[in-house]
Amino acid sequence: MSYPKIGIRPVIDGRWGGVRESLENQTMGMAYAAAELISKNLTYPDGTPVQCVIGCTTIGGGAEAAKVAEQFSTENVVATLSVTPCWCYGSETMDLDPLTIKAVWGFNGTERPGAVYLAAAMSAHAQRNLPVFSIYGHDVQDADDTSIPADVSEKLLRFARCAVAVGLMRDKAYVNLGGVAMGIAGSNCNADFFQKYLGIRAEWVDMTEIVRRITLEIYDHDEYEKALKWVKANCKEGFDCNAGKNLPEVITKSKVVPADKDWEFIVKQTLVCHDILYGNPKLAEMGWHEESLGRNAIAGGFQGQRQWTDWLPNGDFMEAINNSTFDWNGKKCPTVLATENDTCNGVAMLFEALLTNRAPVFADVRTYWSPEAVERVCGRRPEGVAANGFLHLINSGAAALDATGVSKDESGNGCMKQWFDVTDSDIEAMLGATDWCRANYEYFRGGGFSSHFKTHAEMPVTLVRFNLVDGLGPVLQLAEGWTALLPDDMHEKIDLRTDRTWPTTWFAPRLTGKGAFKDVYSVMANWGANHGAFVYGHIGADLITLASMLRIPVSLHNVEDDAVYRPHTWASYGTRDLESADYRACEQYGPLYR
């Protein structure tokens, strides 16, 4: 892949004859220290360290700024970090490229006024309509102190992590397999949004293409045999809700794939979907060159309901295994594939995956359970993180298996790992905690299998939703919280009130006592749609920073104000009401790719 890189710009006092010469080593030292920090702590989706490009010269004026810009233009630099320990000439040394994400780190020392340059640079960027992130240590350092303080390190890494996510999306595609599912507005793909805000091309592939490739056997036959053998050995079947039912003829005559052939069809469907998104050179060897190219995807969605599921096996296995951190070939990077082609939820999943290298989990935000309602149904109130009530996150069988929470960290706690840290024992545990229930024919006439599990661990997670609002534009919502473990009898009584063939996660958001987070009911009451996506870890601060880079305001979050990190000019839109300032700044600057 063509890796998006962070360009490090060592900015220096341009006065030759003693001043500049005395600062060369210190300035370049800051550049190398920042590059080392980033490359040691951040990775691309394939697990390789994030790459930095250090300017070929220190930058004391416009000529050297242009020289470094030319250097970066050949290196796929998507973000620039200007570093300096001293005073420099602000508007002469700044990065003027409107498409690079920008930050400036000014060394906090008293011998040389790096912080003074930082303030001057912030002013210059504001006047030039170029948002920039300010990085400045809390405590004064000695001039010979080459360490990076913890607060500076946090900002450097957050900036780089989010900027790389922006770069990874650029010039990729979101592939719609089908169109709008059941009138769900979120699955109406807005091509303008993807292009202008994310730099992503929207593409559409009719679902008949999947049928064509299965019918004409346009897939890797060896891979099919391997995958089918693995499925039969590892994907145990669970409860069949259709057993014993006298189903109407409109349902029985709609099942054109025999029940005992479902898995064969589903595995082919999964292979075909992957080939459509990414391509497959094996197809070219088989004489299908066009099909071998793929669609340059970074994410996609499958419509399924109802034009597909009314007569063909559903896409639940295809979606679940794509979003998981493993398949029949072992551990792998998750492929973002949205259920019901909810492109808005696909955006949320994409952000989560790019920021964490972990599996994003698609879910219905189904039900708010108050402590009183739980007590009425179960005879006692919930405890622990669920004591104030919780949300029932449940998907129609297509959730990533990582959400079982049975992978173990170094301390033996249940977790959801970065994909490259997943072990064979983790994979075995996730498969063991999941069964595959035959789809309810009343809803899915074509059959198929839904992943069925419950989340077995209390884990920190962040629930995210992306929305499009007419007259307002794109907005992001997020809620940090924890998955909750309910006693078995309480879990059963509540879970069985919905669909017993689907996966369940109980989610308790962290409450703040005010606004949308004054209680759990208010979180759901202010949620923007019937869907959301969650991922392991409290990543709200990263999501807020990423959204600001893309000029997407955040309408709901429970991240503390001190952790909110946006471009410096956002402060000019107000410092008391950060949410309002965010809206106005995003409106003023507009989408990243106009």
Q: What is the largest CA-CA distance in the chain?
A: 93
- Cα 302 to chain centroid distance, Å, stands at 18
Q: What is the mean pLDDT of residues 504-512?
A: 97
Structure-derived torsion over alpha carbons of residues 354, 360, 363, 367, reported in degrees to the nearest 10 = -90
- Cα 173 to chain centroid distance, Å, stands at 15
pLDDT in tens, 311-331: 999 999 999 999 999 999 999
Average pLDDT, the chain: 95
Residue 110 near residue 128 (C-beta atoms within 8 A): no
Residue 531 annotated in ligand binding: yes
Residue 212 pLDDT exceeds 70: yes
Q: What is the C-alpha to C-alpha distance for residues 43 and 419, in angstroms, rounded to an integer?
A: 12
More confident residue, 445 or 1: 445
Q: What is the C-alpha to C-alpha distance for residues 164 and 169, in angstroms, rounded to an integer?
A: 9
In 43-183, which ranges are E strands? 52-54, 77-84, 101-106, 133-135, 173-177
Tokens of 161: 């992590």
Structure-derived torsion over alpha carbons of residues 416, 483, 510, 579, reported in degrees to the nearest 10 = 60
DSSP category for residue 196: I
pLDDT of residue 172: 97
Residue 80 pLDDT exceeds 80: yes
pLDDT of residue 1: 65
Could you give all domains of the chain from N- to C-terminal order, each with its CATH number? 5-169 (3.40.50.1070), 173-589 (3.20.14.10)
Q: What is the C-alpha to C-alpha distance for residues 430 and 331, in angstroms, rounded to an integer?
A: 12
Torsions phi, psi of 106, nearest 5? -105, 120
Place of tokens 């989010």: 162
pLDDT of residue 14: 81
pLDDT in tens, 15-54: 888 888 888 999 999 999 999 999 999 999 999 999 999 9
Catalytic residues: 340, 364
Q: How would residue 86 be classed by pLDDT, with cut points 50, 70 and 90?
A: confident
Residue 488 pLDDT exceeds 80: yes
Residue 527 near residue 463 (C-beta atoms within 8 A): no
Q: At what angle do helices 262-278 and 208-215 cross, to 10 degrees?
A: 110
Residue 209 annotated in ligand binding: no
pLDDT in tens, 390-427: 999 998 778 999 999 999 999 999 999 999 999 999 99
Torsions phi, psi of 345, nearest 5? -70, -30
Residue 275 annotated in ligand binding: no
Q: What is the C-alpha to C-alpha distance for residues 139 and 109, in angstroms, rounded to an integer?
A: 9
pLDDT of residue 440: 93
Q: What is the C-alpha to C-alpha distance for residues 509 and 215, in angstroms, rounded to an integer?
A: 46
